[in-house]
Chains A and B, each alone.
Chain A
Amino acid sequence: MTKPSLPVVQTVGLHKVFKDFWRRPRVSAVQDLNLEIRPGEVFGLLGPNGSGKSTAIKMLLGLLYPTRGRISIFGRPPTDVAIKQRIGYLPEESYLYRFLDAKETLDFYGRLFRQHGQVRRERRDMLLEMVGLQHESSRRIGEYSKGMARRIGLAQALINDPEFLVLDEPTSGLDPIGTRQIKDVIRRLGDMGKTILLSSHLLADVEDVCDRVCILYGGKVQAEGTIKELLAQKDVTQIRADKLRPDTIEEIKSVVERRESKSIEVSVPTGRLENLFLKIVEDAQAAKIETSGAGQAGAIPDFLGAATDDGGAIIQSLIKAADQDVKTEPTPVAAIQEEKPQPSKKVLDELTKPKASLESTDTRADSKPGTAPPDTPSKAVQADQSIIDGLLGDKNRPDNYVPGNQVPDKKDSGNG
């Protein structure tokens, strides 16, 4: 298994020049790419269409050969067949066999990993449940919608419980529910210690799940770093609160003006359309309205993570930790389903019977408190709680204030 110090992926001076029929260089798809993805990291490869993301990924997987440069995956060249045992890959489109059904598809890929019958069947069924296709598993893939095929694509990428998961635009073609489900899966897999390389041009996807990103344009790296580093807005402070009376607002304004000589902007936030949509579909699923599309996504299969670095104990602890996270510090899905009963209902309520609450312009209701960078807006709210406390006292603390991880972080609060 990978030593913690050994990067899962390392590229040095990677170039890819595509040549024409006469071997003349035609286009430079990737130029001098130096990447390092460390174990357990969720790494985002960002860039507009044609920026070289897929080419880079295909070189990492040995599907394309670099013109110059060196690639090492788990310390081995990408053409090494043995390392494929530890990799899961979802291409930019699900290139599946149209004549197979979902079960047969997973069975076929499971066989390529030499999984024995019982294991293969169990994993297949669990993955089908995870991607919500257990009831559509006997239909030929050719009859599937693009989103359903995408789900099977994700399932096949997980069939071997990979240590390193490469997802090339995993949410393309998916409806908001599918997008949310896949993002949840990525987050959970990240929590389990999987190394994930996520390529996308949908910025929200990457921002929601990645620890570190690299932005490509014209085949060159334009920026690289953690989300925190790249998105930090150190000259802005954000304050969130439940609905405040106009006089309170005025008082806050005056305090800020008096102490900081700065004016503040006050607005009523709107909920996210994503949450509204998810709520409607969840209700429909609860009412068992018939559909030929994908069903409700299930839990992450137990087998995933069973082969990570330090054996079962660590995995179990990770899974438990993840479960505890769900209970105490909910991920966005948990926020909807567990900690607060129907949080998206709350969003709906906010939308349908507005109770003018004083909130900042941040609308990331589903952001994950446990993993969100400290200087993201949701954190910033907590950071500036001291100011609110100072102004209003603890008795005015909002009802939905969750203590614990929201200890003000003076370092990152940016209140200067």
Chain B
Amino acid sequence: MGNIWTVARHTISESIRNKVALAFVLMLVVLLVGLPFGSKGDNTVSGALQAFLSYSVTAVSALLSFLSIFLAKSISDDLSGKQILMLMTKPIARWKYVIGRWLGIVCINTVLLATAGLMIYGFTMYIASKPPQDEFDAERLKGQVLSARHASNYIIPTFAAESAAVYQENVEVGKYSGLADHDEEKEKKKLQADMRSRWRAVWPAETRVMNFEDVRCDRSPDSKIHLRYTHYVINYAPDEIVSYTWKFGSPEKGTKLYAVERHDYKDRVHTVTVPADCVAPDNTLQVIFENINPDVKYGDVQVYNTVVFERDDSVQVYFPIGTFGGNLIRTLSLVLCKLAFLAAIGVALSTVFSFPVACLGAFSILLLATTREFLLDSISWLPDAGSLGIVQLVLAYVIRAIYFVIPNFDRFNALDLLVDGRNVTLMWVLMSIGNLVLVKTSILLIAGCLMFMRREVDEVSV
């Protein structure tokens, strides 16, 4: 470890002396100081804060990604500047040199990320201290941005008993007689699916009882929970507004009951905030949805305003389980995992290639890792399109093969959750450390070490 740390220390002092890190620190400071005053969002304090968080974390992450790749060139610099001749005649194993360089970059990133994190936290508190636009803004700021909330999905009934009963009825009336390939289980599952689909659609004057479990929050009246829902509407009125009532709580379990009437635009995400004392002591929450839209006619058109909750996460209840500070630390930890991975790519490439090639290679991988979802989506239809079918087919498979190796950076991006005041779980961070650092980064570093151990560190001069 001694020699690894010596090389790491050297990398740190090199980046400071060569003013590379300093230039990036300067850019960071300019960005972070400029953003709080520049970001407006939707003109509310909570909106401005969300915009600031979004831009600042993205900027810090991007800047440090470039820095990681840029600093990794220290190995190719040592090779081209021949300092490696002095180093490799000292008692330091080549693999220790490679690991030392990587460790140095990770240390620089950690310090800069921690500094940036402190600045982001400071500016967040500064923005949050501004007077909110209204009560809603104040609540959104406190409850939905400066928070770490957990989300529970609504439980859709399985309809096992109901589907079995209907199946039995169908058998009795001879619906399946004559069908040679009829399978009881399949039929029941089909019936269940139909019932669940029907349950998701709430017609005018209908109600749905939605249950949530494991709502482990502070149940005091001062504490708030948030119901977030999205829906689409069939046969909607020309004003595109639908009306309904949400009722929270189950008095039979001794909770308060709250009713909130809403008139929302269709197809958007909406949030309802209620005191947390509607949650039962057994950590369950009952929410009743009532479609109060009248059946009306607009001319000849019958309008029902049927509300459909299409997905399993169409209705979620959010409740606070952590602090904003902790959430920020966990979000930045995920950023650090990505930076460690990028540094390993840079280091591995610079053991073989010279500076511009290694840097460009690392940048390409960064780009591919960041745009993975987009690119994979775009190439999914490539094989079928156009006359160049074979070329595109080959291309599609090559890209798929590349993506088999390159991680999906979206999976390690917690920014959306942070901005939304949603909890970034520790488990996620640990899984990312395992996946990105312990497995993928290690593989890259081992490959880099092996390549470096095999290569000659000087070129021919005869």
- State the A residues within 8 Å of B (CB): 18, 26-27, 29, 50, 52, 54-55, 58, 61-65, 81-82, 84-85, 87, 89, 91, 93, 95-97, 99-100, 104, 108-109, 111-114, 156, 160, 166, 219
The chain A residue sitting closest to B89, CB to CB, is A89
Contact at A64–B458, with CB atoms within 8 Å? yes
Q: Does B193 contact A (CB under 8 A)?
A: no
CB pair B83–A96 under 8 Å, yes or no, is yes
Which of A54, A82, A156 is in CB contact (< 8 Å) with B91?
Answer: A82
With an 8 Å Cβ cutoff, the count of chain B residues facing the other chain is 28
B461-A65 in contact (CB<8A): no
Complex CA gap A334/B10 in Å reads 41
- Tell me, in angstroms, the Cα distance from A50 to B461 when the chains sit together: 7
Annotate B61-95 by CB proximity to A: 1 below 8 A, 0 otherwise.
00000000000000000000111111111111100
Q: Do B6 and A99 touch across chains, with their CB atoms under 8 A apart?
A: no
CA–CA, A160 and B14, complex, Å: 23
Q: What residues of B have a CB within 8 angstroms of the CB of A97 in the complex?
A: 10, 14, 83
Q: Is the CB of A114 within 8 A of B3?
A: yes
A91-B85, A99-B17, A99-B18 known; A112 and B462 CB under 8 Å? no
Docked-complex contact B456 and A112, CB < 8 angstroms: no
Cα distance A84–B3 in the bound complex, in angstroms? 13
- Does A84 contact B91, Cβ atoms closer than 8 Å? yes
CA–CA, A112 to B84, complex, Å?
13
Interchain CA distance A109-B10 in the complex, whole Å: 10
The answer to whether B89 touches A87, judged by C-beta atoms less than 8 angstroms apart, is: yes
Alpha-carbon gap, A156 to B86, bound state (A): 9
B2 at the interface (CB under 8 A from A): yes
Check if A112 sits within 8 Å of B90, measured CB to CB. yes
Distance of A96 from chain B, by nearest CB (Å): 7
Q: How far is the CB of A86 from chain B (nearest CB, A)?
A: 9
**A89: B residues at CB distance < 8 A:** 85-86, 89
Instruction: Give the residue of B18, B92, B458, B460 whose beta carbon is less than 8 angstroms from that of A81.
Output: B92
B25 sits at the interface (CB 8 A):
no
**Chain A minimum-CB-distance residue to B97:** A112
> Could you pull out 5 A-B pairs where Cβ atoms are within 8 angstroms?
A26-B460, A63-B89, A82-B91, A91-B82, A114-B2
| Contact A108 to B10, CB < 8 A, known contacts A27-B462, A58-B458, A99-B18 | yes
Which of B81, B88, B92, B462 lies in contact with A52, CB distance below 8 A?
Answer: B462
Decide if B18 touches A108 in the complex (CB within 8 Å): no
Q: How far is the CA of A93 from the CA of B85 in the complex (A)?
A: 10
Report A-chain residues with C-beta under 8 Å of the C-beta of B13: 99-100, 104
A18 touches B462 (CB 8 A): yes
Complex interface: chain A residues within 8 A of B430 (CB)? none
From A142, which residue of chain B is reached at the shortest CB distance?
B17
Q: A50-B462, A97-B14 are in contact. Are A112 and B92 (CB under 8 A)?
A: yes
Q: Which of B84, B85, B91 contacts A85 (CB 8 A)?
A: B91
Tell me, yes or no, whether B457 is within 8 Å of chain A by CB: yes
How many Å from the CB of B340 to the closest CB on chain A?
Answer: 24
Contact A113 B462 (CB under 8 A): no
Knowing A63-B456, A91-B82 are in contact, say whether A99-B14 is a contact too (CB < 8 A).
Answer: yes
Complex contacts, A108 vs chain B, CB 8 Å: 6, 10
Known contacts A108-B10, A112-B6, A112-B92: A96-B86 contact under CB 8 Å: yes
Closest to A82 in B: B91
Instruction: Tell me the nearest residue of chain B to A78, going by C-beta.
Output: B89
Asked if B17 contacts A55 (CB within 8 A), the reply is no
Q: Which of A52, A81, A82, A91 touches B86 (beta carbons < 8 Å)?
A: A91
**Interface pair B91/A29, CB less than 8 Å apart:** no
- Closest beta carbon of chain A to B18's beta carbon, Å: 6
Residues of B within 8 A of A (CB): 2-3, 6, 9-10, 13-14, 17-18, 81-93, 456-458, 460-462
Verify B93–A81 contact, CB threshold 8 A: yes
Q: How far is the CA of A112 from the CA of B87 in the complex (A)?
A: 8
Give CA–CA (A97, B15) in the complex, Å.
Answer: 12
- Whether A95 touches B82, Cβ cut-off 8 Å, given contacts A55-B462, A58-B458, is yes
Instruction: Give A162's nearest chain B residue, CB to CB.
Output: B89
Chain A residue with the shortest CB-CB distance to B90: A112
Bound complex: CA A126 to CA B9 (Å): 24
A-B contact sample (17 more), CB < 8 A, given A64-B457, A113-B91: A27-B462, A50-B462, A55-B461, A55-B462, A63-B85, A63-B456, A81-B91, A81-B93, A84-B89, A84-B90, A95-B83, A97-B14, A99-B17, A111-B3, A111-B9, A112-B87, A156-B86
One of A29, A112, A114 near B460 (C-beta < 8 A): A29
Interface centre among B13, B18, B82, B460 (most CB of A within 10 A): B460
Q: Given the complex of chains A and B, what is the CA–CA distance between A371 and B189 in angstroms?
A: 102
The 9 closest A-B pairs by CB, nearest first: A99-B17, A95-B82, A18-B460, A84-B91, A89-B89, A112-B90, A111-B6, A29-B462, A85-B91
User: Which one of B17, B18, B91, B457 lies within 8 Å of A112 (CB-CB)?
Assistant: B91
Measured CB to CB, the nearest residue on chain B to A83 is B91
C-alpha gap A26/B460 in the complex (Å): 10
Task: Give, as a whole number of angstroms, the nearest-CB distance from B256 to chain A.
Answer: 67
Question: A5 CB to closest chain B CB, in angstroms?
Answer: 25
> How many Å lie between the Cα of A81 and that of B93 in the bound state?
6
Which chain A residues lie closer than 8 Å to B87 at the CB level? Answer: 112
B100 CB to nearest A CB, Å: 10
Q: Which residues of A contact B6 (CB under 8 A)?
A: 108, 111-112
Q: Which of A54, A58, A114, A166 has the most CB of B within 10 A?
A: A58
Taken together as a complex, chains A and B put the C-alpha atoms of A18 and B82 apart, in Å, by 18
* A160 CB contacts on chain B under 8 angstroms: 90
Q: Are B92 and A63 in contact (CB under 8 A)?
A: no
For residue A62, give the distance in angstroms from its CB to the closest CB of chain B: 7
Cα A108 to Cα B13 with chains together (Å): 11
A113: chain B residues at CB < 8 Å are 90-91
Residue of A nearest to B15 (CB): A99
Interface centre among B88, B90, B93 (most CB of A within 10 A): B90
Instruction: Across the interface, name the chain B residue whose C-beta is closest to A54.
Output: B461
Q: In the complex, which residues of chain A have a beta carbon less than 8 angstroms from the beta carbon of B90?
A: 84, 109, 112-113, 160
Tell me whether B456 and A65 are in contact (CB under 8 A): yes
Q: How far in angstroms is the closest Cβ of chain A from B451?
A: 14
* A100 contacts across to B, CB distance below 8 A: 13, 17
B74 to chain A, nearest CB (A): 10
How many Å from the CB of A52 to the closest CB on chain B? 7
B2 closest partner in A (C-beta): A114
Given A112-B3, A112-B90, answer yes or no on A63-B458 (Cβ-Cβ < 8 Å). Answer: yes
| CB neighbours of B18 from chain A (8 A) | 99
Decide yes or no: A27 and B91 within 8 Å by CB, A63-B85, A99-B14 being known contacts.
no
B457:A63 contact, CB within 8 angstroms: yes
* Bound CA span A82–B91, Å: 6
A79 to chain B, nearest CB (A): 9
Cα–Cα, bound, A84→B18 (Å): 29
Report the minimal beta-carbon distance from B363 to chain A, rounded to whole angstroms: 25
Complex-state Cα separation, A62 to B456, whole angstroms: 8
Residue of A with least CB distance to B16: A99
Report A18 CB to chain B, min CB distance, Å. 4
Chain A residues within 8 Å of B81, by CB = 95
Given the complex of chains A and B, what is the CA–CA distance between A112 and B86 in angstroms? 11
Cβ of A94 to closest chain B Cβ, rounded Å = 8
Closest CB of chain A to B458's CB: distance in Å?
5
**For A96, what are the chain B residues with a Cβ–Cβ distance below 8 Å?**
83, 86
Contact between A27 and B460, CB atoms less than 8 A apart: yes
